[in-house]
Structures are given as C-alpha cells and as structure tokens.
C-alpha cells in the first residue's frame, strides 16, 4: 500500500519523543472509550440505562466513551465492566517491552455494529 502524505507526516512526527508519548496516550484513551461503547452496545443498553445500573449519570458514561477523557478511575471502570459482563485488566510493563512490540497495547476486540432497527438495538444477537 502506498504511503499517504498523512502517513509520512505522522512518521516524521513520531520521531519526536514528546509527540510519540502523547500519541500513545491518546491511543490508549481511544481504546478504552471504544471498548466501553462496544460492550454497552453489545449488551443492548443505552448510555442512560447503563448509567442507571451503575448508579451514575448519563454524562459520566458519555465521558467514559469519549476518546478525549483521561479521568478513568479503576472503581468506575470495574462497576461499568461488571454491568457489561466484562472485566478490567490493567498491565503495567517496562517501556522497553512496549517499544519492542511497536504497539501501545495488544489489539482490542471492539468492533461495533449499528442497529438496523430499534428492536435489534435492544436484543443482542446470540450464537447457537
């Protein structure tokens, strides 16, 4: 695949350690946000319904699903995960291990599907 102007620009910017660090942090926040949103959608819940179950506000769930938000607490993530039949796993590792793999984290499974009707949004598909 041919490199785009953006690809070349990003590669150049990533040579700056400060930029690379901020870029990595942004990617981690993005991963958390997408995982929460995908799990919530898979469970067939609205942000408002999840908030009610977690005993927080819809605005707080919206923040957790925002890639710009970095105020996650472990206790809140655990409460959300429990309601979504998931678990929270935190890995702290030496920087040289992350640098050797070239990735901030292992790829997350957070594919989402848009609901085609209001009925499909409420009832997640099951496999037999």
In a domain, 127, yes or no: no
Q: Specify the pTM.
A: 0.60
For residue 46, is it within any domain? yes
Structural domains of the chain, count: 1
CA atoms within 13 A of residue 59's CA, in its CB half-sphere: 0
Dist CA 89 CA 106 (whole Å) = 12
**What proportion of the chain, given as a percentage, has pLDDT over 70?**
73
Instruction: Tell me the CA distances in angstroms from 7 to 14, 41, 115, one per residue in order.
Output: 11, 32, 33
Q: What is the pLDDT of residue 40?
A: 95
Position 112 in a domain = no
Domain that holds residue 58: 5-87+117-122
Is residue 43 exposed (0-12), middle (13-18) or buried (19+ Cβ within 10 Å)? Answer: middle
pLDDT tens digits for range 69-91: 888 899 999 999 999 999 999 88
The packing angle between helices 17-42 and 74-83, to 10°, is 30
């Amino acid at each position: 695949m041919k490199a785009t102007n953006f690809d070349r620009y990003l590669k150049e910017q990533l040579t700056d350690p400060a930029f690379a660090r901020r870029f990595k942090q942004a990617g981690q926040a993005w991963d958390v946000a997408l995982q929460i949103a995908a799990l919530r959608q898979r469970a067939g819940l609205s942000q408002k319904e999840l908030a009610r179950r977690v005993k927080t506000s819809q605005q707080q769930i919206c923040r957790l699903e925002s890639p710009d938000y970095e105020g996650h607490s472990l206790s809140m993530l655990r409460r959300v995960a429990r309601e979504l039949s998931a678990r929270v796993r935190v890995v702290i590792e030496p920087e040289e291990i992350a640098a050797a793999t070239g990735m901030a984290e292992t790829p997350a499974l957070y594919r989402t599907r848009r609901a085609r009707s209001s009925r499909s949004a409420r009832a997640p598909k099951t496999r037999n």
